[in-house]
A and B are shown apart, each in its own frame.
With several copies, the nearest count.
Chain A
Amino acid sequence: MINLEVNLGPLRLKNPVLAASGTFGFGEEYASFFELEKLGAVIVKGLTLRPRQGNPPPRIAETPAGMLNAIGLQNPGLEAFLERELPRLRSINAAVIVNIAGDTEEEYLTLARELSETNGILALELNLSCPNVKEGGIFFGTSADVMTRLIRKVRRVCRLPLIVKLSPNVTDIVELAEAAESSGADILSLINTLKGMVIDVSRRRPLLGNITGGLSGPAIRPVAVRMVYEVYRSVKIPIIGMGGITNLDDALQFFLAGARAVAVGSASFINPYTIPRLISDLQLFMESEGLQSLDEIVGAAQR
């Protein structure tokens, strides 16, 4: 059987298919469907220093070939994560990447520092791109200067591989990717959700409690693939690609564009088995195409 192991800079994964942050909770619910051990990694729900209530409902709106969410980073906070979620994930041998978010630089730094000192975490993913919280989040992700400053500081306190997750809601994704690379990111994740909204015509009001939300799902895949393609040409660090992946073909678009790993988000809502199925389909694909390593297709569509 072909080995799907993949190295993303300092990060070694047993396979290149991850669960995208916020769509997999802390893994608990999906663990009743399949063994989380199978996944390349679980990127847990965006974690903040203190517990967060999140946004008022409704938080979900369906859109053509996609959905909006405005969860607003509801999460139990660092302490509960360390006490409850992480030990549980470790006990079932899940590979854990922690997605962190903050309103202030200080919060990011504290999180990075504390999580670096914790065993059983594979990497940190800096969420600089959540469109659903008032402060922080996307603010850090849309200005190269602000981002650079933050990443430099986090880099200094973070001993784990550092993934920076980029927002697609920018004029020039390449500029931000380069800024992230040069300020110390080991890996880039892209893309987070596009900012969108739906109006409930019958009530003549925005449908979401938060007014706007983040667009995910197949609808955004062309934007995501384009961004991975563009970023791959200009940075050397590896890319985790995501945005609308539902099956092998979708994932291959990302690999061919230049992603060394992919993450599945909203598709898990439609079919909880999406990720394990994708892993075995990828295995079969590599065997039937006679590929020894993913390297043979990563970035192969570049020209």
Chain B
Amino acid sequence: MLSKARVLKIEEIFSGCFFLQLEEQRIAGDSLPGQFLHVRVADNTVPFLRRPFSIAGASPRNGTVEIIFRVVGEGTRILSRLQKDEFLDCLGPLGTPFSPGKEFPVSILLAGGAGIAPLLFLAGTLAGKREKILVYYGTPNSGELLTPDKFLPPGVDVFLATEDGSAGFHGLVTDLFERSLKDDPGRAEIFACGPEAMLKTLAKKNRSWGFPMQLSLEERMACGIGACQGCAVQAHRENKTGYLRVCRDGPVFNSQEVVW
């Protein structure tokens, strides 16, 4: 599960946000949407810990796997300086993936910011297998928007929201979704990834909407494989309430499981 993956491509999609394509056959073959790579950004004791990134796409045929990351601190800054043909130490794929139900003809993907990453991968695997795939995607402004068409398969309907109104709907992606809500909870399921506030809002509203809904969560991680109990999130599961591990019990949780 530990590999050195070769950098095929690194590209700044918009200021401070990078697309990274890696070549690693095993990871490419094993990855499922919702899983993540735990990446060692440098061969040094600073930064000490690995960094988790959702897998944004994988092609077993080409042996490639992709992540999309925003530069928020030292680790991602170092990553952003990677060059083609360098090697990146990756642990993974890790974590429990999304589990789309065949019984739902409509898939609704709700993304906030960099949360789009795992949903791009999911959309790719669902394409052609669902009647409708709807992607709702919100960012603060049009400058922080990746062109979803570039990363999405054909036949996916994309709805944009920006907080400042510079592109698409003016407001939060959750509001956009609420307004356009017309799908039947019996026929559609939701997959969401984004900032905690967005997921929390969704989980709350969904109490009345009643969609089956899977959320991909984030928490600070050490091991990434389930051994240290570092990445705790409070949740119900199997009639118990306690701390589950984002890295192994998640990162994908059912929205009713999570205790906010």
In-complex A–B contact (CB below 8 Å):
yes
Q: Which residues of A contact B (CB under 8 A)?
A: 22-25, 28-30, 32-33, 45, 53-67, 69, 71, 74, 217-218, 246, 266, 268-273
Is there an interface contact between A65 and B227, defined as CB atoms closer than 8 Å?
Answer: no
Q: A33–B226 Cα gap in the complex (Å)?
A: 13
The listed residue (B2, B219, B223) touching A269 by CB distance below 8 A is B223
Chain B residues near A270 (CB, 8 Å)? 40, 48-50
Is there an interface contact between A53 and B242, defined as CB atoms closer than 8 Å?
Answer: yes
Contact with A along B227-242 (1 / 0, CB 8 A): 1111111100000001
Is there an interface contact between A269 and B228, defined as CB atoms closer than 8 Å?
Answer: yes
What's the minimum C-beta distance from B24 to chain A, rounded to whole angstroms? 17
The listed residue (B40, B45, B229, B234) touching A246 by CB distance below 8 A is B45
Is there an interface contact between B219 and A58, defined as CB atoms closer than 8 Å?
Answer: yes
Query: Does B220 belong to the interface (CB within 8 Å)?
Result: yes
- Closest chain B residue to A244, Cβ basis: B45
Q: Which residues of B contact A (CB under 8 A)?
A: 1-2, 40, 45-50, 91, 219-234, 242-243, 248
The listed residue (B222, B224, B234, B243) touching A67 by CB distance below 8 A is B222
Q: A181–B181 Cα gap in the complex (Å)?
A: 64
What's the minimum C-beta distance from A54 to chain B, rounded to whole angstroms? 6
The listed residue (A60, A62, A217) touching B231 by CB distance below 8 A is A60
Q: A207–B40 Cα gap in the complex (Å)?
A: 22
The listed residue (B227, B231, B234) touching A24 by CB distance below 8 A is B227
Q: A49–B89 Cα gap in the complex (Å)?
A: 39
Is there an interface contact between A59 and B2, defined as CB atoms closer than 8 Å?
Answer: no
- Closest chain B residue to A208, Cβ basis: B220
Chain B residues near A63 (CB, 8 Å)? 48
The listed residue (B219, B228, B232) touching A23 by CB distance below 8 A is B228
What's the minimum C-beta distance from B67 to chain A, rounded to whole angstroms? 19
The listed residue (B46, B228, B233) touching A71 by CB distance below 8 A is B228
Chain B residues near A22 (CB, 8 Å)? 228
Chain A residues near B223 (CB, 8 Å)? 23, 29, 268-269, 272
- Closest chain B residue to A51, Cβ basis: B242
Given known A53-B243, A66-B48, A272-B2, contact A71–B91 (CB-CB < 8 A)? no
Q: A66–B242 Cα gap in the complex (Å)?
A: 27
Chain A residues near B221 (CB, 8 Å)? 60
Given known A53-B243, A62-B48, contact A266–B222 (CB-CB < 8 A)? yes
Given known A33-B1, A54-B232, A60-B220, contact A272–B49 (CB-CB < 8 A)? no
Is there an interface contact between B227 and A58, defined as CB atoms closer than 8 Å?
Answer: no
Is there an interface contact between A54 and B2, defined as CB atoms closer than 8 Å?
Answer: no
The listed residue (A45, A53, A58, A71) touching B220 by CB distance below 8 A is A58
What's the minimum C-beta distance from A49 to chain B, rounded to whole angstroms? 17
The listed residue (B48, B225, B243, B248) touching A272 by CB distance below 8 A is B225
Q: A53–B49 Cα gap in the complex (Å)?
A: 24
Is there an interface contact between A65 and B219, defined as CB atoms closer than 8 Å?
Answer: no
Q: A25–B245 Cα gap in the complex (Å)?
A: 12
- Closest chain A residue to B246, Cβ basis: A57
The listed residue (A29, A67, A218) touching B227 by CB distance below 8 A is A29
- Closest chain B residue to A71, Cβ basis: B229
25 CB contacts below 8 A, A to B, read A23-B223, A25-B228, A32-B1, A53-B242, A54-B229, A56-B234, A57-B219, A57-B233, A57-B234, A57-B243, A58-B220, A59-B220, A59-B231, A60-B220, A62-B48, A69-B222, A69-B228, A71-B230, A218-B48, A246-B45, A266-B48, A269-B50, A271-B2, A272-B91, A272-B223
Q: A69–B47 Cα gap in the complex (Å)?
A: 16
Interface centre among B1, B49, B50, B224 (most CB of A within 10 A): B49
Is there an interface contact between B46 and A30, defined as CB atoms closer than 8 Å?
Answer: no
Chain B residues near A273 (CB, 8 Å)? 2
Chain A residues near B225 (CB, 8 Å)? 29-30, 272
Chain B residues near A269 (CB, 8 Å)? 49-50, 222-224, 227-228
Chain A residues near B248 (CB, 8 Å)? 29
Chain A residues near B234 (CB, 8 Å)? 56-57
Closest 3 CB pairs of A and B: A25-B227, A60-B230, A65-B45
- Closest chain B residue to A53, Cβ basis: B242
Q: A266–B47 Cα gap in the complex (Å)?
A: 13
- With A266-B222, A269-B224 given, can you name 12 additional A-B contacts, CB distance below 8 Å? A23-B228, A25-B227, A29-B226, A45-B229, A57-B231, A57-B232, A60-B49, A60-B222, A217-B48, A268-B223, A271-B2, A272-B2
Chain A residues near B224 (CB, 8 Å)? 269
Is there an interface contact between B232 and A67, defined as CB atoms closer than 8 Å?
Answer: no
Q: A33–B227 Cα gap in the complex (Å)?
A: 12
Chain A residues near B50 (CB, 8 Å)? 269-270
What's the minimum C-beta distance from B148 to chain A, rounded to whole angstroms? 29
Q: A164–B204 Cα gap in the complex (Å)?
A: 48
Given known A69-B222, A272-B2, contact A62–B47 (CB-CB < 8 A)? yes
Q: A132–B41 Cα gap in the complex (Å)?
A: 29
